[in-house]
Chains A and B, each alone.
Chain A
Amino acid sequence: MEILKNQQGSRLAVVLKGRLDTNTAPHLEKELRSCLDGVEELDFDFEALDYVSSAGLRVILGAQKQMNRQGEMVIRHVNDDVMEVFEMTGFVDILTIED
């Protein structure tokens, strides 16, 4: 998985490419832990994210919980496969997903 970050002031944009699974989710968790301090707007782009398992969902949920306390989080361009995972797990109701 590739993680591309672009921080401008209190806005952090993160582009994920590839697979968010048991082996890659810890990398994302570590990246977010190191840079979410002071972020009020977290903007994910999932256009090139092909696969999410429960390990990935845990990290996404953790980010959402933290951003609920300090600002807002948006996930854009979710593909059909990943959307199916979000729907089946009820994550569509707790995430802000936009085109």
Chain B
Amino acid sequence: MNHEITVPATLEKLEEVNNYIGGILDGLDCPPKARMQIEIAVEEIFVNIASYAYNPVVGNATVRLIVHENPLSVDIQFLDEGVPYNPLLREDPDITLGADERGIGGLGIFMTKKTMDRISYSYDEGKNVLTISKKIE
């Protein structure tokens, strides 16, 4: 089963994307913990695209959800035609630093890496394709 939504890559569309994915996860009886982890991952990745992929002309982002059975899991793909960018190459933040030494960057993709079962990036036919996978049973 595939589900797909394409929206302008803007922060205003985050809620629409989250509601779309959330609705599908609810239909799959996704446990609350995994649902929140996925919600955070979707927000962090979509916001990255909305913030950095396109400048100055805003393009589209497509979010595609693929359901796998036995065990029940989802792949969520994010596609954009913006500047090539692999967020997985970003260095992890040092989470042992004190408040005053802490920077503010990198936590979103860091949390995504920690909570998802798999995360991969490719640049394919002019598109950034970031895929996260999570078991939901």
Given contacts A81-B36, A85-B111, is CB(A22)–CB(B14) below 8 Å? yes
- Interface status of B44 (Cβ within 8 A of chain A): yes
Determine the chain A residues whose CB is within 8 A of the CB of B107 once the complex forms: 54, 57-58, 89
Determine the chain B residues whose CB is within 8 A of the CB of A23 once the complex forms: 11, 14-15
Provide the bound-state CA to CA distance between A90 and B32, in Å: 22
A72-99 with Cβ < 8 A to chain B: 81, 84-85, 88-90, 93-95
> For chain B, what secondary structure do more than half of its interface residues adopt (helix, strand, loop), or is it mixed?
helix
**A63 CB to nearest B CB, Å:** 10
Determine the chain A residues whose CB is within 8 A of the CB of B59 once the complex forms: none
Given contacts A23-B15, A65-B100, A81-B36, is CB(A90)–CB(B95) below 8 Å? yes
Provide the bound-state CA to CA distance between A54 and B102, in Å: 13
Determine the chain B residues whose CB is within 8 A of the CB of A3 once the complex forms: none
Q: Considering only CB atoms and an 8 Å cut-off, how many residues of chain A contact the other chain?
A: 23
Give 7 closest A-B pairs by Cβ, nearest first.
A90-B95, A54-B108, A54-B107, A94-B99, A58-B104, A64-B99, A53-B43
Write the residues of chain A forming the contact surface with B, with a CB cutoff of 8 angstroms.
21-23, 51, 53-55, 57-58, 61-62, 64-65, 68, 81, 84-85, 88-90, 93-95
Write the residues of chain B forming the contact surface with A, with a CB cutoff of 8 angstroms.
11, 14-15, 32-33, 36, 39-40, 43-44, 47, 95-100, 102, 104, 107-108, 110-111, 114-115
